[in-house]
Amino acid sequence: MKTMKIALLGCGTVGGGVARIFGEINPELNARANVSLVLDSIVEINPPAAIERFQLPASLFCGGGRLLQPDEASRYIDDLLASPEIDLVVETIGGTSDFVFDLCHRVIEAGKHLVTANKALLAERGRTLFDLAENKGVKIGFEAAVCGAIPIVKTIKENFTGDKILSISGIMNGTSNYILSRMQNESLEFGAALQLAQDNGYAEADPSLDINGGDAGHKLILLIKLAWGIDVSMDDLSIIGIENIGKEDIDFANEINAKIKLICYAKKINGDIYATVRPMMVKNNNFLSQVNGATNAVRVNNHYSGIHFLVGKGAGSGETAMSIVSDIVFIARYGERMKNTAAPQERIFADARQFVFPYLITFHTADVPGTTGFIATAIGNQNINIETVSHNRHTGEKAMFSVATMPSTFEKIEAAVEAIQRERPGLLLSEPKIMPILY
């Protein structure tokens, strides 16, 4: 049986999970790959912590399991990349620094396969790596970079190759979903729900990328590349986070039989690709509205086979490590016939402001008679049909209400708001919140 030797760079939460899986089910992995898979070496600054946490043999670690200085770790990495014995490298260091990018570049340049969960690196700087891998004839496995244990990358790359993907939508960040679920189910304010997420290990001390939509945006960029073969940057993608969601927004969602979710949405329309990440009012008859806690869910709508849902845990040591190990097995078995991404396509990445949705617009105004009628008229003047208007909430000299529209472009909604501000300066006490309604 052919042998494939693997080097693991980093042995923290994810890397340690990979090593543990190899230690526990290596014979089964060999049978599935039809290759003898050997975890040959691990480079880790703090091996004693990893050895204790994951019950790993010290002999796996470069340096025999002792603490390493950074320059020592770098020398061991250099040796592994230069070794003709190493066939595949797993990167679990993380981040988008020049050091990590250069490291991944060197892995590929050395003619070795790369497996990583580093969604931010691949979304922001991946084009160079994918192009180099194509030239070098090696593979990049990144199933773990998108929604942890959910096999969405292989599903799009392999299972849907006989179909045309029309749209992809879903909940792709567990932290934001946990926060919104607690706000919805327990009437919590955003700050209290965020603190619970941190206390329970679902949010980092700095949760910025989770709550501002950046993490979800990285994942959507990778899925767009897989589904339609186009490269999108974070600057191209329209992203709004959940930081400004309040209890009143939850109440307005309940009024229209919906729940607020941070949704990744991409759709192909006549060759143009529209995409956005933002909070949406997801109607209760849409399955995504029922996905709570830190769970991820992806909805794929295909031309021939219809709608598919993939649901599961989007993070965690075992979950993410499992996806990395699956990529290793897949590369070992099918590597010569695998494609890293879809073939590049000449498609237009369209302006998200032209994306058509029904919208819920929440207005915070001075409590002046005739305000609701004036605002409804301003919306109608942009040829936007109104479906419902909520009850007014009055607090002293202030009022708050929402307007649900029929399908419209975001550009028209913006124009209506600009007209209101121009014709009645000072009437709006804050910028209206504008959220798509997802049926």
Q: Which residues are catalytic?
A: 219
One-letter amino acid for residue 411 of the chain: E
Which residue's entry shows tokens 């849907």?
160
Strand order in the sheet with 140-141: 36-43, 3-9, 88-91, 113-116, 140-141
Range 20-37 burial, b when 16+ CB lie within 10 A, else e: bbbeeeeeebbebbebeb
Q: Is 147 left (phi over 0), alpha (psi -120 to 50) or beta?
A: left
As beta bridge partners, residue 302 has 165, 306
Contacting residues for 171 by C-beta, under 8 A, at least 6 apart? 177, 261, 262, 263, 264, 288, 291, 295, 296, 297, 298
Nearest residue to 19 (alpha-carbon basis) of 52, 60, 49: 60
182 near 247, Cβ under 8 Å? Answer: no
20 near 56, Cβ under 8 Å? Answer: yes
117 near 215, Cβ under 8 Å? Answer: no
Nearest residue to 62 (alpha-carbon basis) of 48, 51, 76, 82: 76
Backbone angles phi, psi at 392, to 5 degrees: -75, 140
Q: How many CB atoms lie within 10 A of CB 221?
A: 28
DSSP 8-state assignment for residue 335? G
Q: Using DSSP bridges, classify how beta strands 356-357 and 408-409 pair: parallel, antiparallel or unpaired.
A: antiparallel
152 near 162, Cβ under 8 Å? Answer: no
223 near 152, Cβ under 8 Å? Answer: yes
What whole-number distance in Å separates Cα of residue 53 and Cα of residue 325? 19
One-letter amino acid for residue 53 of the chain: R
What whole-number distance in Å separates Cα of residue 439 and Cα of residue 437? 6
16 near 54, Cβ under 8 Å? Answer: yes
